[in-house]
Structures are given as C-alpha cells and as structure tokens.
C-alpha cells in the first residue's frame, strides 16, 4: 500500500470523524465521558467512585475529586505491584515516565487502549497537515525524529519504563492500523538509536543517518529538534567526512553544502517542508528555525504523558481539542477556588488550568498546564505555560508565554535571536526581581538598553508587573547571558535522560549554578 493511499485511508477513517465531532463539541464531550466511564466502571477506581451510576457531567464532578499524581499514587502503586484492572481495564504494556521539567519524574501505567488512541491521534496530526495543506510531496521522503527511549534500562516488575514517544515506537499496532505494517518505515534514524542514553552519541548518530537521506519533515519536542538541526549544521562536518560509515556520495554532498565549516541544511535537504512540533513554545525557536531551514511550515501538536490533547488542523488556525477521546474541564487560572467548567463554557482570551479524563486512567487529573482559547467558533487553543512556572513575586502572575512574547519583541528590535531562557526569582528583604538566563544566538550590543527594553515590554504586556515596577516593589530585572549550549550542559549536569527533556522555565538556585555563563 503506497504512502499516499495510507494517508488517504487515515484521513477518511480517523480525521473526518474528528471534524464531525468538532461540529458538536458539547455532544461529543458528553459521549466521550460516557464511554470512558463505561469502560472503567468495573475497575477498582471506577467501583470506588460509582462510575456505573453516573448519568451527567454534574454527577461526575460530585462523585470524582480533582486528582493529581499524589492522589492517584496509591492506585499506581498497586499497578506497579502487578495488579490489573486498577485504573483502567486493559492490559498494562509498560510504565511511562514524565520528563520531570517542573519536579521529580512521575510514573504512570500505559495500557493497550490508550496506545491505540494515542497512535491514531499522532497519525491524525500528520494526515491533517498533508491533506489540508496539499503537501503530498512530503510522503516521498524521510521523516527526521529525535527519538526518546522505549526503555531507559529500568523495570518495575515485568514492565519496562519508557517515555511516551519511545513506547509508541515499539507498541503493537491496533487492528485498524495493520495497513502500516506493509509500508516502508520512513523515519530516520532507525529504531536501534532510540534507546541510546548517551547524549553525544545519539545526537551524532541522528546526524549520520539523516544527512544521507532525503529528509522532508521532522517531528519531536521543539527544543530537541532545533538542537539537533543546529548540531548537524555547526558541529559535525569534520567528523562526518572522516566517518567510514558515511558513503562517498554523501560526503561529496556535504562538501558542496559547506561554507566556513558550517553545513547549509537547505542544500542538504532541498525538499524539507515541515516541522511538526510540540512540547514547548515555538516562540524562542522561530528565528533559529528560519536561519537553519528557511521558510518552512510549522505544524503544532499538544501532547503530554497524560494524553494527546489537541492538534493543528488548518494552517491558519490554532490547535483544536480531541473532543472525542479526551474529556476536558477548565479552572480559571486566577481563581483556585472556582468550580471547574466544561468545554462548552470556556471564553476566548482567558487562561485556564486543564483537567483531563480519559481511557488511560486519568480522572479529573490536573496536568499542570495553563492554556488559553484563541477562539470558540471553532474551538482553538494555545498553551500558555506550566502552572508551576507562573511567577507571582508581588501579585503579577507572570507566565512563560508573556516573558517569551517580551523577549521575542525586544530581540526583533535588536536584530538578534535567542535559543532559550529560564527565570530565577530573587526575593529578599532588600530586593524583589527577576534573573533572566538567556542563551542568545547573538549578544545585544548594549546590554543596559536591552535590559531596559525587556523591562518595559514586560510592564506593557503585564499591567500588574508594570504597576509594581512603577511603585519600585519589583526591581529592574537582571539579564544573564548563557554560554552556547549552556542549557544542554545544565540538563547533562542533572543526568537527565535525553529525548524527552525540556529546559525548566523556573530555576532553583542549585539549578542555576549548573548553567555556564558568559
């Protein structure tokens, strides 16, 4: 079966029903909740919370408390001990580990039914891009991934511990996707690279396999993919040319694409079309992507260990929620005591915390993200940041997205770019202020002026920050330039496993000391 035929089949079988569900999101959400409760009614959790007797969203909210990892931990511990049918009825395949961006990594059981839902949602995202943007040519080449491990060398009883994307790469395909088994695997690098835990070796092998391929798309956590592209461009030319595993044709191509030791990726991959990204905001990476790859399409998905929440469906609109497989509730970010509301009651432009209920054993689970709806007809959303990363030193409630917006505007005015940033709050009897660690692509000529403009932009974007600055409650921020590769060095210093790792936006003093500074 050809790649084109496969994508058309995926679109007809899985994308069209989602579009139909989005025409009636309220009815789709009610049906989704009924299906989840019906599947889980005979589980330990379902029996304890009366799933079989719940007939409405209101009854569900009364019967089931808002959950977090700590409240589900007793059930997860029973699953770790080998018990089945605790949070969901299907067989446990492995345990997923979170990236631990805002705290210690957490472990969740991963079952067959959720594997099916997740794989289908991943395929939907790619099919929507190809069909709605008429990019059938991307199917003729290879897809570059920066793979997370399907095993991190740790076991819980008989079960492997894995990251989500690594687990999906080796999971058995659901029956309705058997057509994929007859198609040629289109990704680079091959699967055996996934479980390599050494940072430098994995980066290099991804480079070696990809430079000889006709890469037309890339997918993964935005920060990881951009780091890989940058390393291929700037770090590996001599090593690739000396590598006996790289064929002579590829070496000739590399020499023709080289200038001053830098590989022009647009010459290496002239057919590259799209970066399918997610996990972190695209904002700080836009300039680097354009510099490396030229004008390409950026296609966003919203996935977490707890589930695949939303995807871009049309190029000119934001992400749309998966209303048929995930039941959502929302709490206004500025009101911890507010009653959670369903999808039908959300308002555009207002930040919300997200609660999810799905077939993976998550029931009214607070995933720790803050999102904002950019529109309600149709429903479109964007991720503002992590709840744990919102800073409120003096009531200003500064989010990751607001800081990113300020930095992007100021860097644009200065004609420079930045790779990433993190924030270390300083609070003492003498001073309250932000320390912004920024890894620049080029340093600003005038740091004093740059800092002042960032300060002004933050005040214009966040009125409370501006008021507290004017009252001198919050002091002028300090900008700390990070060495090239400094955030990656910090993650290595933490001995983070590569592939599912993100830079924490909110630093502790201990973490900040791991960041090499200019």
C-alpha distances in Å from residue 491, one per residue of 117, 159, 228, 361: 31, 26, 15, 30
User: pLDDT at residue 399 above 90?
Assistant: no
User: pLDDT at residue 504 above 70?
Assistant: yes
Task: Name the strand (E) or helix (H) holding 468.
Answer: helix 463-470
User: pLDDT at residue 188 above 50?
Assistant: yes
Residue 359: cis peptide before it, omega within 30 degrees of 0: no
pLDDT of residue 2: 85
d(CA 449, CA 438): 15
Mean pLDDT, to the nearest integer, of 66-74?
95
CATH class of segment(s) 390-512: alpha beta
Domain boundaries, the chain: 3-301, 390-512
pLDDT of residue 44: 98
| pLDDT band for position 143 (cuts 50, 70, 90) | very high
Start-end of H helices in 111-247: 112-132, 164-170, 199-211, 222-234, 237-242
Contact 352, 330 (CB under 8 A): yes
| pLDDT band for position 106 (cuts 50, 70, 90) | confident
Report the candidate in 32, 482, 19 with the shortest Cα–Cα distance to residue 284. Answer: 482
User: pLDDT at residue 184 above 50?
Assistant: no
Q: What percent of the chain has pLDDT over 70?
A: 95
| pLDDT band for position 495 (cuts 50, 70, 90) | low
| pLDDT band for position 100 (cuts 50, 70, 90) | low
d(CA 401, CA 177): 37
| pLDDT band for position 178 (cuts 50, 70, 90) | low
User: pLDDT at residue 176 above 80?
Assistant: no
Q: What is the mean pLDDT of the chain?
A: 90
Contact 385, 399 (CB under 8 A): yes
Mean pLDDT, to the nearest integer, of 242-266?
96
477: which residues sit within 8 A by CB, 6+ positions away?
A: 433, 434, 435, 436, 451, 454, 455, 458
| Cα dihedral: 168, 173, 179, 184 (round 10) | 40
Contact 420, 436 (CB under 8 A): no
Q: SS3 of 493, please?
A: helix
Task: Name the strand (E) or helix (H) holding 400.
Answer: helix 400-414
Report the candidate in 367, 328, 306, 354 with the shortest Cα–Cα distance to residue 87. Answer: 306
User: pLDDT at residue 501 above 80?
Assistant: no
**Over the stretch 286-316, which tens digit does the pLDDT of each residue have?**
888 999 999 999 999 998 888 889 999 998 8
The separation between CA 182 and the C-alpha centre of its own chain, rounded to angstroms, equals 29
Mean pLDDT, to the nearest integer, of 384-402?
84
CA Rg value for the chain: 23
Long-range CB contacts (< 8 A, 24+ apart) of 49-56? 49/363
User: pLDDT at residue 443 above 50?
Assistant: yes
**Over the stretch 332-356, which tens digit does the pLDDT of each residue have?**
988 878 999 999 999 999 999 999 9
pTM: 0.83
pLDDT of residue 395: 85
Residue 474: cis peptide before it, omega within 30 degrees of 0: no
Mean pLDDT, to the nearest integer, of 21-28?
95
Residue 101: CB atoms within 10 Å: 20
d(CA 150, CA 159): 12
Mean pLDDT, to the nearest integer, of 450-474?
93
pLDDT of residue 39: 96
| pLDDT band for position 29 (cuts 50, 70, 90) | very high
User: pLDDT at residue 101 above 70?
Assistant: no
Mean pLDDT, to the nearest integer, of 477-498?
82
336: which residues sit within 8 A by CB, 6+ positions away?
A: none
What architecture is the 3-301 domain classified under in CATH?
3-Layer(aba) Sandwich (3.40)
User: pLDDT at residue 236 above 50?
Assistant: yes
Question: Could you give the angle at the alpha carbon of 428 between the alpha carbons of 423 and 433, nearest 5°?
Answer: 35
| pLDDT band for position 168 (cuts 50, 70, 90) | confident
| pLDDT band for position 238 (cuts 50, 70, 90) | very high
């Amino acid at each position: 079966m050809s790649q084109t035929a496969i994508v058309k089949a995926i679109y007809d079988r899985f994308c069209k029903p989602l579009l139909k569900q989005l025409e009636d999101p309220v009815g789709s959400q009610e049906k989704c909740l009924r299906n989840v409760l019906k599947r889980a009614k005979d589980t330990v959790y379902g029996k304890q919370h009366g799933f079989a007797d719940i007939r409405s969203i209101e009854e569900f909210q009364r019967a089931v408390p808002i959950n977090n990892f700590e409240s589900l931990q007793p059930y997860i511990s029973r699953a770790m001990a080998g018990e089945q049918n605790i949070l969901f009825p299907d067989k446990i395949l492995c345990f997923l580990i979170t990236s631990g961006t805002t705290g210690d990594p957490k472990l969740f059981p991963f079952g067959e039914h959720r594997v099916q839902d997740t794989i289908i949602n991943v395929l939907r995202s790619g099919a929507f891009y190809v069909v709605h943007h008429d990019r059938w040519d991307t199917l003729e080449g290879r897809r570059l991934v920066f793979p997370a491990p399907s095993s991190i060398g740790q076991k819980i009883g008989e079960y492997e511990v894995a990251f989500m994307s690594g687990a999906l790469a080796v999971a058995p395909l659901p029956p309705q996707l058997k057509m994929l088994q007859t198609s040629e695997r289109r990704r680079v690098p091959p699967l055996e690279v996934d479980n390599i835990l050494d940072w430098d070796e994995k980066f290099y092998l991804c480079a070696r396999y990809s430079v000889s391929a006709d890469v037309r798309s890339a997918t993964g956590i935005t920060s990881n993919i951009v780091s890989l592209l940058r390393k291929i461009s700037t770090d590996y030319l001599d090593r690739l040319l000396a590598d006996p595993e790289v064929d002579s044709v590829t070496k000739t191509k590399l020499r023709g694409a080289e200038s001053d030791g830098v590989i022009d990726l647009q010459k290496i991959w002239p057919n590259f079309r799209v970066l399918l990204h997610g996990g972190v905001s695209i904002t700080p990476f836009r300039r680097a992507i354009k510099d490396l790859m030229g004008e390409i399409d950026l296609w966003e998905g919203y996935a977490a260990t707890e589930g695949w929440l939303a995807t871009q469906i049309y190029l000119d609109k934001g992400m749309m929620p998966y209303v048929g497989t995930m039941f959502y509730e929302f709490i206004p970010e500025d009101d911890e005591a507010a009653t959670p509301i369903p999808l039908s009651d959300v308002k555009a432009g207002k930040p919300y915390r997200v609660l999810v209920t799905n077939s993976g054993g998550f029931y009214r689970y607070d995933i720790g993200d803050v999102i904002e709806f950019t529109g309600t007809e149709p429903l479109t959303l964007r991720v503002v940041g992590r709840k744990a990363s919102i800073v409120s030193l003096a009531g200003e409630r500064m989010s990751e997205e607001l800081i990113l917006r300020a930095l992007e505007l100021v860097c644009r005015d200065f004609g420079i770019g930045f790779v990433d940033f993190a924030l270390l709050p300083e609070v003492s009897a003498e001073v309250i202020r932000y320390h912004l660690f920024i890894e620049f692509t080029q340093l600003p000529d005038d740091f004093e002026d740059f800092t002042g403009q960032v300060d002004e932009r933050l005040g214009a974007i966040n009125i409370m920050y501006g008021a507290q600055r004017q009252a001198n409650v919050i002091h002028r921020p300090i900008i700390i330039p990070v060495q090239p590769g400094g955030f990656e060095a910090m993650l290595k210093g933490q001995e983070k496993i590569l592939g599912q790792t993100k830079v924490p936006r909110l630093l502790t003093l201990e973490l900040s000391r791991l960041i090499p500074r200019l």
